[in-house]
Structure 1
Amino acid sequence: MPWKLASFATLLAAITLAGCSTSGAEKDPVVADSGSSRCESKAAEFAIGKKASPELLEQARTRAGAQNARILKPNDMITLEYRSDRLNLNTDANLVITRVNCG
């Protein structure tokens, strides 16, 4: 009986580890795309002092060369991971852009 239990445990461990492995040919699309363009916040500084809007966000994202962009209002809950391909437009309570940065 202990032999069967040990064999079963070994088989279960092998199946579990095989499920965790990946082939070298597969790439994570997020990792592959994130290195293709880098955000340049200076190119989007024209937006400072303007009222935030979806059109302005897209225009600033395009000029900065960013893959993604977001508008951050005071007291917004945000993720803190750094992404070099993301543009952030920080606003005041009246949705006027006060700061532009990448990350």
Structure 2
Amino acid sequence: MPDLKALAVIAPAAMLAACATTADSPDGGPGTCSADAASAYVGQKATGQVGSRILQATGARQLRWGPPGAAFTMDFRQDRVNVMYDQAMTITDVTCG
């Protein structure tokens, strides 16, 4: 039979560990997004090639496309660039987070 005292200590610790968040990269570190560099892409068509160029221009590590009417998580990631586009697949905004 398992030791109930040990189980009483381990179970809450395991639940807290499951809720832990990952650390973001420090400000200005490698992979930190800079959306100002991608403002020239607003008005262009949202394509894979343009997405690759936006990643390169912003220095971000991850790109998240934002189709019209999409819901997003509100977690902020310094290494992610968000590219919003309209029904015509035209880029309307580029932000970091």
Tell me the TM-score normalised to structure 1 length.
0.71
Identity %: 29
Which of 80, 86, 91 lines up with 1:92 in the alignment?
A: 86
Unaligned runs of 5+ in 1: 1-6, 23-27
Which of residues 31, 47, 52 in structure 1 aligns to 2:46?
52
Q: Match of 1:13, as an amino acid? A: A
Structure (1/2) with the larger helix percentage: 1
The change in CA–CA distance for 1:16 and 1:37 in structure 2 (over 3 A counts) is same
Deviation (angstroms), 1:38? 1.1
1:73 aligns with 2:73: no
What are structure 2's unaligned runs of at least 5 residues?
none
Give runs of ≥4 in structure 1 deviating > 2 Å: 11-22, 34-37
- Give the greater-gyration-radius structure (CA): 1
Q: Do 1:57 and 1:70's aligned partners in 2 also have CA atoms closer than 8 Å?
A: no
Q: What is the alpha-carbon distance in structure 2 between the residues aligned to residue 18 and residue 40 of structure 1?
A: 37
Aligned CA-pair RMSD = 2.9
Counterpart in the other structure of 1:25: none
TM-score by length of 2: 0.75
